[in-house]
Structures are given as structure tokens and as C-alpha cells.
Amino acid sequence: MKDLYIIGGGGFTIEVLFLIDRFYKNVWRNIYIIDDDPKKIDTKIRNIKIISTINDFISKCRNEKDIEKDVLITINDPKVRNRTVAVLEKEKFRINFPNIFDQTVVIDKENSVIGKGNIIMDFVGITGNVHIGNFNIVGARTGIGHDSKIANFNTFSPRVSVSGHVVIGNGNTFGLNSAILQNKTIGNDNDIWSYTMILKNIKNNCTYFGMPAKKIKI
């Protein structure tokens, strides 16, 4: 059995550890948490200890090159999650990035493709011919419609609605109860606020709010 290292010591880690307690209890030998806030070192989340910063974890991996590890990244910020993965993959450690699914997830596994490092929470629905890339976080009760394509490093808050034939790029954040109508394309690095409805295609690096969505400046 391998050890699991969870990178991120925030509130979402509490939810993920609860998921692991229910459905993955005997999968890993030990579970540890990594976080860059030095004040959190040696504290615990759901009785799991925060043992080190990310830099210390990288040093540990360099000293243990022959030991295979599983890593789960629970950082909600897509940019930080992306940077963290880039650092780990550059080092070419023996690291696996497993997918974590709550067992209440409904998914057409035979006709869908899902990459690595994804975290999919309770009561998510993923219908047929869906393609999901890597390192996405999908919050509770989110629905992803048929023939949709989701790239990498997106964060979906709870109860997001993605209709059919939607294409989503990289690094987007979708707020609570936001929605995307069918046949729409979302670019990269957008921030879609809570209760926002996307009725048109949107490009890159913008913030949207409202029903219908309007671009806003921060």
C-alpha cells in the first residue's frame, strides 16, 4: 500500500477527508497533509496531521526517489493548483495523481473519458459522451450534460449546471448555482460568479455575473 499526500490544508480538505473516510478508508497505508502556511504545520484536520510545506515535501520526494506516492491536490484556486502540479511533474518523481469519486456520483463510465487528479464530490451527475481532463474539482450536486468537454484545472462550486455540448477550457472557476446553456464555449481562466447564467460564448480572462451573464471589471 502507498501513502497519500494531500496538498492543501483549507476547508475543502475537510470535505475530501470525509469522502475518503466513507469510501477509501483502506486504500492507503497512511495519509498526510501538505500546506504552505507554516502556522498550520503539526496541526490536524479530521485527525490527519499537516506535516510540512510543499518545498519540504519536494525535498522528501528527492530523498525517496524509489518510493511511489499518491498525491491529491485540494487547492480550489486553479492557478495555484496548476503551478503545484507543474512543479511536481517537472521533478519527475514517482507520483500518481488518482481520481477521487464520491460513490453517490452518477456517471456513464462506458461512454465518458476522465483524466487524472480529479475530485468529484457527492451527487454529481455526469451523463454520456463527456470528456473531463485533469485536475478538475467538481462540487456537490453539479450536473454535466451529454457530449460536454471540460479541459484541465477547472473548479466547479456546488450545484453548477453544465448543459449538453458545452466546451470548457482551462483554469475557470464556476460559482455556486451558476449555469451554462447548451452548445456554449467557455475559454480559459474566467471567473463565473455565483448565480450567473451563461447564454453566450465567452473568451478568456474575464469575470462574469448576473442572469444573463455580464462581463464586469474588478
Over residues 59-68, the pLDDT tens digits come to 999 999 889 9
* Domain 100-216 CATH assignment equals 2.160.10.10: yes
pLDDT of residue 65: 86
Residues of the chain with pLDDT under 70: none
Domain ranges of the chain: 4-96, 100-216
Name the CATH code of domain 4-96 (choices 3.20.20.140, 3.40.50.2300, 3.40.50.20, 3.10.180.10): 3.40.50.20
Q: What cell was used for 5?
A: 499526500
> What pLDDT was estimated at residue 78?
98
The 10s digit of each residue's pLDDT in 63-94 is: 998 899 999 999 999 999 999 999 999 988 99
Q: 18 with 83: CB under 8 angstroms?
A: no
According to the model, what pLDDT value does residue 218 have? Answer: 77
